[in-house]
Amino acid sequence: MKRLKYLFYLLLLLSVHHNSYAIKYRVDQRFQVFDHPVTSLALSNNEDSIALGSKKGMIKIMDTKSHSQSDLGVHDADVTALRWTKDDQVLISSSNDTT
């Protein structure tokens, strides 16, 4: 779990400091990340899933236990923030949100 937390913070730093570069790394050598910049990420409450949002509105959920990933589809604008709720739902904020 410590390794996963370090990876989470590393991805956060990469997305903040190198936002103009495409991230083509593998998360824990099991997941293919987007071919364009990651703009937000969130670790689930029980730390078994990671949500990633991208500049082009793509959203992926990566399960660290089963090593699977699922796409939540394309959002209508750049994803600016992701947050997990207590019931394991992902809240999405985008660049065109007015709230």
Q: Give the count of alpha carbons within 13 A of 54, CB side only.
A: 19
| pLDDT computed for residue 40 by the predictor | 80
What span, in angstroms and rounded, lies between the C-alpha atoms of 35 and 15? 13
pLDDT computed for residue 20 by the predictor: 40
What are 50-83's pLDDT values in tens digits? 888 877 778 888 887 777 777 777 666 778 888 8
Distance set, CA 17 to CA 43, 48, 89 (Å): 19, 26, 28
Asked, for residue 22, whether it belongs to a domain, the answer is: yes
Domain annotation covers residue 60: yes
* Residue for token pair 């990469």: 14
Number of structural domains, the chain?
Answer: 1
Asked if residue 80 lies in contact with residue 40, where contact means CB atoms within 8 angstroms, the answer is: yes
- Report yes or no on 72 lying in a domain: yes
pTM (2 decimals)? 0.58
Asked whether residue 32 is domain-assigned, the answer is yes
Return the sign of the alpha-carbon dihedral for residues 11, 3, 72, 26. Answer: positive
Cα atoms in the Cβ-side hemisphere of radius 13 Å centred on 46: 8
**99, part of any domain:** no
63 within domain boundaries: yes
Residue 73 located in a structural domain: yes
Q: Residue 27 is part of which domain span?
A: 2-94
